[in-house]
């Protein structure tokens, strides 16, 4: 878990059942406390697990109902604890400028996906960018001296 589930200062993991989740919490908590580090912002779709973790270590206030539409964001992902679903939120803005290769690359790079869950979607954008470069298109409005 330490090798694969940590990104910058966040730990992202899960378990198949409550017993495994409690064991994982206890191991992570003990390991980080040994290094004088306190893991905070705990979150889970399992209310029983969250009751075992002190309220001051929760990502959300304990007063917030787990049945609400509350969303928690981490690593570019948004978790909806009430349904145990991850949500990717993408803001699509109208394009006011001429569509260029630079703009296409910029737009596709805005999809932050450190876990690779969007790979089937992102690969389509990457193939499109590759095809644009293969066409060796140039700007018709650019002067001959520009490169």
Which stretches does DSSP call E strand in 1-137? 6-7, 10-11, 72-74, 77-80, 85-87
CB 57 within 8 A of CB 40: yes
Asked if the structure places residue 114 within a domain, the reply is yes
- What residues have CB less than 8 Å from 2, skipping those under 6 apart? 31
54 and 96 share one domain: no
12 and 60 share one domain: yes
15 and 59 share one domain: yes
Structural domain including 113 reads 92-140
Asked if the structure places residue 50 within a domain, the reply is yes
10 and 59 share one domain: yes
Query: Mind listing the pLDDT tens digit for each residue in 52-89?
Result: 888 888 776 555 554 556 777 776 678 777 777 888 77
Q: How many CA atoms lie within 13 A of 95 on its CB side?
A: 9
pTM here is: 0.51
60 and 14 share one domain: yes
Q: Is the pLDDT of residue 35 over 60?
A: yes
């Amino acid at each position: 878990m330490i090798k694969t589930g940590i990104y910058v200062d966040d730990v992202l993991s899960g378990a198949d059942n409550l017993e495994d989740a409690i064991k994982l919490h206890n191991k992570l908590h003990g390991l980080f406390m040994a290094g004088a580090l306190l893991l905070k912002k705990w979150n889970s779709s399992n209310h029983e697990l969250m009751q075992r973790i002190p309220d001051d270590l929760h990502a959300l206030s304990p007063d917030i109902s787990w049945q609400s539409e509350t969303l928690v964001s981490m690593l570019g992902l948004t978790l909806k604890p009430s349904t145990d679903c991850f949500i990717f939120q993408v803001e699509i803005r109208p394009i006011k400028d001429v569509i260029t290769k630079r703009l296409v690359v910029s737009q596709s790079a805005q999809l932050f996906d450190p876990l690779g869950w969007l790979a089937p979607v992102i690969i389509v954008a990457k193939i499109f960018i590759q095809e644009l470069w293969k066409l060796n298109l140039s700007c018709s409005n650019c002067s001959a001296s520009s490169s």
